[in-house]
């Protein structure tokens, strides 16, 4: 006879056996998922606006993904890409490259286990093929928690606490967050940016990093963990220009923004530029562990044999889950849906600001929305308060995470309908009224 499990039991066992270093956004224990919903052990249903932190683009347990994974598990679970050639590995890389603009479209790639691991591979690639060592990253950016990726991450000092010996050769400049200008110019929109970020980059190249030593600039097309901030339109084009002048490589971290979430296949496409290297993670695996790096063919071909590798990266089961998710995204027009539903959600959130002054700036693109929470004086709500609100959202039936100093992070599966979006927003508004 099967033992009946309860949420209370699972949470108690977790607290007894799992390190508290692993933070939980909610006090909910999940037993299954279907579409845009998660369910706990008592059968309660929750709207999932976290989507595994922007991983489940086609929702939980999509029948086509389940079928593809089941067939692959019954055929070949693992053999390692170092040992021989794997069709699912080639199939998903071929598909991803076909979605990218030239010259990435004609490029090559490598598959890893996660976005963080892909960041580390991209750093290695840039340094090895350029023969340069310096990396320019951005304050507010998040690129992962392993020691190399963490050297680029600058969204919170908590991640770096007691870790002074990180990767050397990384300099940071402020990411342009215009509604709370780093340079003290008050609140602006990206359309009215002060442009001081340009001067900071130039100052860094003049005083700290000689252009001849600059291997790469690593940037998120939309600031992720730092608050879902959309930069000024000329931000990425300026970085592209700097790289073209100095011979450095432009690396776009598309772990959160890539593969349809922003309303385009890649976040950099909103800026009409093409990076030399793009980093992928989260949604690439369709719910299974997978990451990847794609780059211009000449860069990948300059990476010598055995320069990088992985045991499980590009595992056949993860590859078929990811490929089927990409095909579903095309077949069900989910990118267009991300635009329409995402715009609708931000419109409603902005309209609600008149009656709910706790809502500050609403930012993002597609189904990638940040909702800043503020005090009566317009200051950012304290982190403890935001954490409490996120937990209350979970208790109220909406699973979400947070980002930035004081923002709610909404990244529901791309399959969400207008009706579902309205329903979950009503729950969010009810919680915020309290």
- Average confidence (pLDDT) over 65-94: 96
d(CA 106, CA 98): 8
Res 179: pLDDT:
78
CA 383 to chain centre: 21
Residue 281: count of CB within 10 angstroms of its CB: 28
d(CA 320, CA 68): 6
Burial code (b: 16+ CB inside 10 Å, e: under 16) for 242-265 equals bbeebebbbbbbbbbbbbbbbbbb
Comparing C-alpha atoms, which of 141, 173, 175 is closest to residue 156? 141
Answer whether 0.75 is exceeded by the pTM. yes
Res 1: pLDDT:
45
- Average confidence (pLDDT) over 221-239: 94
C-alpha angle 22-220-65 in degrees, rounded to nearest 5: 65
Query: Is the pLDDT assigned to residue 183 strictly greater than 90?
Result: no
How much of the chain, in percent, has pLDDT values that exceed 90?
89
d(CA 414, CA 366): 9
Write out pLDDT tens, residues 109-153: 999 999 999 999 999 999 999 999 999 999 999 999 999 999 999
Write out pLDDT tens, residues 346-362: 999 999 999 999 999 99
Q: By the 8 A CB rule, do 228 and 368 touch?
A: yes
Query: Is the pLDDT assigned to residue 194 strictly greater than 90?
Result: no
The one-character DSSP state at 333 is: T
**Exposure on the CB side of residue 17, measured as CA atoms within 13 A:** 6
Name the phi and psi angles at 253, rounded to 5.
Answer: -85, 100
Write out pLDDT tens, residues 359-388: 999 999 999 999 999 999 989 999 999 999
d(CA 409, CA 416): 16
What residues does 23 pair with on adjacent strands?
none
Q: By the 8 A CB rule, do 104 and 294 touch?
A: yes
Got the DSSP string for 202-250?
A: HHHHHHT--GGGEEEEEE-SSBTTTT-BPPPTTHHHHHHHHHHHHTPEE
Domains and CATH numbers, the chain: 7-58+333-433 (3.90.1150.10), 68-331 (3.40.640.10)
What does pLDDT average to over the chain?
A: 95
What residues does 401 pair with on adjacent strands?
409
Res 195: pLDDT:
83
Res 4: pLDDT:
67
What residues does 170 pair with on adjacent strands?
135
Name the phi and psi angles at 220, rounded to 5.
Answer: -90, 130
Res 338: pLDDT:
98
Joined together, the tokens standing for residue 233 give: 């339109």
d(CA 429, CA 434): 9
Query: Is the pLDDT assigned to residue 189 strictly greater than 90?
Result: no
Q: By the 8 A CB rule, do 244 and 78 touch?
A: no
Using 50, 70 and 90 to split pLDDT, how confident is the model at 2? low
Q: Which class for 214: exposed (0-12), middle (13-18), buried (19 or more C-beta within 10 A)?
A: buried
Q: By the 8 A CB rule, do 227 and 368 touch?
A: no
Query: Is the pLDDT assigned to residue 257 strictly greater than 60?
Result: yes
d(CA 417, CA 36): 10
Res 51: pLDDT:
97
- Average confidence (pLDDT) over 294-306: 96
CA distances from 78 to 66, 99, 313 (A): 18, 27, 10
Query: Is the pLDDT assigned to residue 188 strictly greater than 70?
Result: no
Comparing C-alpha atoms, which of 310, 301, 309 is closest to residue 129? 301
d(CA 364, CA 29): 29
d(CA 344, CA 351): 11
């Amino acid at each position: 006879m099967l033992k009946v499990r309860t949420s209370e039991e699972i949470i108690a066992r977790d607290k007894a056996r799992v390190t508290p270093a692993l933070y939980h956004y909610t006090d909910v224990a999940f037993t299954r998922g279907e579409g845009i919903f998660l369910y706990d052990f008592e059968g309660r249903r929750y709207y999932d606006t976290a989507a595994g932190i922007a991983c489940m683009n086609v929702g939980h347990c999509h029948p086509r993904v389940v079928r593809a994974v089941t067939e692959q598990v019954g055929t070949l679970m693992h053999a390692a890409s170092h040992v021989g050639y794997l069709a699912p590995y080639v199939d998903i890389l071929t598909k991803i490259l076909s979605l990218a603009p030239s010259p990435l479209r004609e490029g090559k790639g490598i598959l890893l286990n996660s976005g963080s691991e892909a960041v580390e591979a991209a750093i290695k690639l840039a340094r090895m093929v350029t023969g340069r060592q310096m990396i320019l990253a951005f304050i507010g950016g998040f690129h992962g928690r392993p020691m190399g990726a963490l050297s680029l991450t600058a969204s919170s000092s908590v991640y770096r606490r007691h870790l002074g010996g990180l990767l050397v050769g990384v300099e940071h400049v402020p990411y342009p967050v215009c509604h709370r200008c780093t340079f003290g110019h008050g609140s602006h929109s990206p359309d009215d940016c002060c442009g001081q970020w340009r001067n900071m980059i130039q100052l860094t190249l003049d005083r700290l990093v000689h252009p001849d030593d600059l291997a790469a600039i690593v940037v998120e097309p939309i600031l992720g963990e730092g608050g879902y901030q959309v930069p000024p339109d000329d931000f990425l084009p300026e970085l592209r220009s700097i790289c073209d002048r100095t011979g450095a490589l432009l690396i776009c971290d598309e772990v959160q923004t890539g593969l349809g979430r922003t309303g385009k296949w890649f976040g950099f496409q909103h800026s009409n530029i093409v990076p030399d290297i793009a980093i992928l993670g989260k949604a690439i695996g369709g719910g299974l562990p997978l990451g990847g790096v794609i780059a211009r063919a000449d860069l990948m071909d300059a990476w010598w044999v055995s320069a990088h590798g992985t045991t499980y990266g590009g595992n056949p089961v993860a590859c078929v889950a990811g490929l089927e998710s990409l095909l579903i995204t095309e077949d069900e027009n989910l990118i267009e849906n991300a635009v329409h539903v995402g715009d609708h959600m931000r419109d409603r959130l902005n309209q609600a600001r008149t009656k709910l002054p706790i809502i500050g700036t609403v930012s993002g693109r597609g189904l990638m929305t940040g909702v800043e929470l503020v005090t009566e004086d317009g200051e950012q709500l304290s982190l403890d308060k935001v954490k409490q609100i996120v937990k209350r959202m979970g208790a109220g039936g909406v699973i979400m995470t947070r980002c930035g100093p004081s923002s709610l992070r909404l990244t529901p599966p791309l399959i969400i309908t207008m009706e579902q979006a309205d329903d979950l927003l009503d729950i969010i508004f009810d919680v915020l009224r309290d």
